[in-house]
Structure 1
Amino acid sequence: MSEISSLTFEQALAELEQIVQRLERGDVELEKSIEIYERGEALKKHCDALLKKAEEKVEKIRMSASGEAQGTEPLDVKWDG
């Protein structure tokens, strides 16, 4: 398994989805279930952090009353992470 901090959002999400599928099937031994569950938790935290970082970079365009662009400002995003 690769180091979680080096994974892109898409890679981490794909691995997390695989973990969920394995746990839902229930064909994993208890010790292995605990191990992959813990990795899943770490992957979730990594995805949350990457998503928050991306959202912080997004800006919205400020418009004047006449509909012309006047600049940008931070996007108003409510984070539930």
Structure 2
Amino acid sequence: MLAQTRYTIKSHLMGELMVFEWLKFKLKNYQSPEDKLLDQMSRPMTHSQQREADQYRDIYNQRDNPNAPKAPKDLDDDFI
């Protein structure tokens, strides 16, 4: 009985050690969402990202422009 208990404790500790080693690797390489965002923002934009940002910037700049082309009435009805 005592040998069985020792074996159970030893195997349990080995299991915990294996989980700890697995977690240690995961935690060493862990990056919080904030860190990932900061890393992404510090990298220069790709050409397609820059083009998309320019399109949104143009749309934003045309919002206050009185001479900007207006959307047809049927397109406005889709948003109601």
TM above 0.5, yes or no, is no
More helix by share: 2
Length-normalised TM-score, structure 1: 0.40
The answer to which structure, 1 or 2, has the higher relative contact order (CA under 8 A, 6+ apart) is 1
More strand by share: 1
Length-normalised TM-score, structure 2: 0.41
